[in-house]
Amino acid sequence: MKLNIASGVLAVLYVLSHPMPLTAQTSSDTVDVNGRTYGLSSALYGVGKEIYDNSPAANLYRQDLSFTEISASYSLRDESAALIVQEGDRFDAGNFNADSYIRLNDKSSAFANVEYVNGMKRNVLWNSSSDFLLLYPYVTADTVGGNLSHEKYMFSGGYSRKDGRFSYGVQASYRALHEYRRVDPRPRNITSDFNASISAGYSAGGSLVYVTVAGRIYRQISDVGFYNPTGANTSEIPMTGLGTYFERFTGTGAYLGTYHKGGGYSFRAGMVPKARRGWMAEVGFRSFTVRRLLSNQNDVPITSLNIMDLSGYVGYRGDKWGIAFSGKHERRTGTEMIIDNGASNIYNVLGASLMYLNGIWDTAVSAFFDFEMEKTLWTLTPVVGWLSSSAGYLFPERSMTYSRIYVRLPFMAVFGKSPWLLAVRAGASVAVNIGGGLDISSQEEEEAMSEMIRYGFSNLSASSSGGDCSLRAQRSLNRTMAVYMEGGCRYAYFTSGINMWMAEMKLGICF
């Protein structure tokens, strides 16, 4: 499997580094590599980024410049105590990434991305599953935890074209993830995640009006092993939300195999300007359902998680400034199955009960500014937003709510003199808790789980402040290719007492 994936990476890299001949001259033919890096550093390319990323038809109007980056990097996240215990208190990894956007001519474009990550999550607790932030609360947990080796492959690509007034595009991505541990308890999770979308649009005046339909297929096969001759050192616990769990299926014997099987779809409609200036807007709906099955009990489903969200975006991009309003409401509902006694080891579903509900609101206003003075590009992209979450469990009745207002203020300066180009970034951020509460019924035998929930709430409801900075130094080798080195770090302090550091060092080429 690794050989096949490695061969695929090499094939994609060859395509990225040997783009197809252009059938007509594009802007990239007349701008050198440092000039393209300078131009694409504009804050205005951030206006509508979500729209262009999600709609292959609209992607044709994303930018006029072809640009490819290939890089190797090392990244680190280190926390004085785990902010989310299920994700561990440290993650360090080596990364390889290739990202390309190619304007084939004035009527078509192609885009692709390849990513490989190999690292280690450290001190993971209360979680033996992968993709916790996607699957919560329906993960398998244990009280011992440990480090998790992490290996991820991701491929994506798409094509956009216009013919007359009509535009269309296709896009697909595949993510493979392998996480495992070599000491008891020994989870081994293999995940595959496939997404595909098709999009079509019609030119009306100075805008493209489009619709996008997408589908998703998700699988995760999980198994936990114990090899210590003295026996298992913990039980594997199927969690059901806010510190509750399936007691019947807790143990170390027949219930160690889990299979998450899911799929979903999404629909988006919107408009983007065909020129650099103009209004853009989009509304979207997404539905994703994933069931948790017991692999050793004839794949009987014990829980089902449905995630639905509504999103909206309105933005304007001018010559030197832009503004955007975005909003999203996500609703997570969890259903638990009622299973029979498994006569002859055949388990059947007798009924289902809706037990878990989590609603999340996230709205933001973003501004984008470009200032050019003495051959230096200055950018400023302030963001002000509000996030609120409300989660509840039916019986025993439990609830957790929190809300915060957040502000981010990043800026960047890009300047250079041939053959060099420098980009300096810095920013500050603050999030202020404006309310929330936790109500859980704590029984003696569940005290450890209740303590885990109280700890998580203290971090989720905490206020925070921090800053970040980075530097990119780029030197052109010729008119079309450059090498660069980039390093950055970020610090955040949470009022729950946690300090978090993040850092990344990157070396790459661009053309």
Residue 196 amino acid letter: A
> Which class for 48: exposed (0-12), middle (13-18), buried (19 or more C-beta within 10 A)?
buried
Count of beta carbons in the 10 Å neighbourhood of residue 303: 24
The Cα–Cα gap between 135 and 355 comes to: 15
- pLDDT score, position 254: 73
pLDDT tens column, 250-275: 988 777 899 999 999 999 999 999 99
Give CA torsion, residues 68, 74, 80, 83, to 10 deg.
40
User: b or e along 53-75 (b: 16 or more beta carbons within 10 Å of the residue's beta carbon)?
Assistant: ebbbbbbbbbbebbbbbbbebeb
pLDDT value of position 442? 61
pLDDT at 445: 54
Of the pLDDT bands very low, low, confident and very high (cuts 50, 70, 90), residue 305 is very high
Please compute, for residue 242, the number of CA atoms within 13 A of its CA located in the half-sphere on the CB side.
22
Provide mean pLDDT across the span 158-173. Answer: 97
pLDDT over threshold 60, residue 10: no
First-to-last C-alpha distance (Å) of the chain: 31
Give me the mean pLDDT over the 329-342 stretch.
96
pLDDT of residue 27: 54
Could you write out the DSSP letters of every residue in 159-221?
EEEEETTEEEEEEEEEEEEEEE-SSSSEEEEEEEEEEEEEEEEEEETTEEEEEEEEEEEEEEE
Helix, strand or coil, per DSSP, at residue 6: helix
> What pLDDT score was predicted for residue 355?
98
In the predicted structure, residue 134 carries a pLDDT above the cut 50: yes
- pLDDT value of position 409: 98
- Name the amino acid, one letter, at 268: R
pLDDT single digits (tens) 194-234: 999 999 999 999 999 999 999 999 999 999 999 987 777 88
The mean pLDDT of the chain is 93
Question: How big is the chain, counted in residues?
Answer: 511
Kindly state the percentage of the chain with pLDDT values over 90: 86
**Going edge to edge, which strands form the sheet with 140-141?**
140-141, 237-241, 244-245
Q: Is the pTM of this model over 0.85?
A: yes
Residue 28, pLDDT score:
55
Q: What domain range includes position 336?
A: 2-510
Instruction: Report the distance separating Cα 438 and Cα 243, nearest Å.
Output: 12
Question: What is the pLDDT at residue 1?
Answer: 44
Q: What is the mean predicted confidence (pLDDT) over 183-201?
A: 97
Higher pLDDT pick, 276 / 163: 163
Helices marked H in 300-403: none
Residue 477 · residue 52 · CB < 8 Å? no
Give the pLDDT of residue 389: 99
Cα separation, 425 vs 431, in Å, equals: 20
Taking alpha carbons only, the member of 144, 150, 139 closest to residue 77 is 150
| pLDDT of residue 181 exceeding 90 | yes
The pLDDT value recorded for residue 76 is: 98
Q: Flag whether pLDDT at 344 surpasses 90.
A: no
- Contact between residue 240 and residue 333 where contact means Cβ atoms under 8 Å apart: no
Does position 385 have pLDDT exceeding 90, yes or no?
yes
Kindly tell me the sign of the dihedral angle through the C-alpha atoms of 47, 171, 1, 217: positive
Percent of the chain exceeding pLDDT 70 equals 94
Contact between 137 and 240 (Cβ < 8 Å): yes
Instruction: Report how many domains make up the chain.
Output: 1
pLDDT in tens, 39-94: 999 999 999 999 999 999 999 999 999 999 999 999 999 999 999 999 999 999 99
User: Any residues with CB less than 8 A from the CB of 35 and at least 6 apart, and which?
Assistant: none
Q: What does the pLDDT average to over 388-409?
A: 97
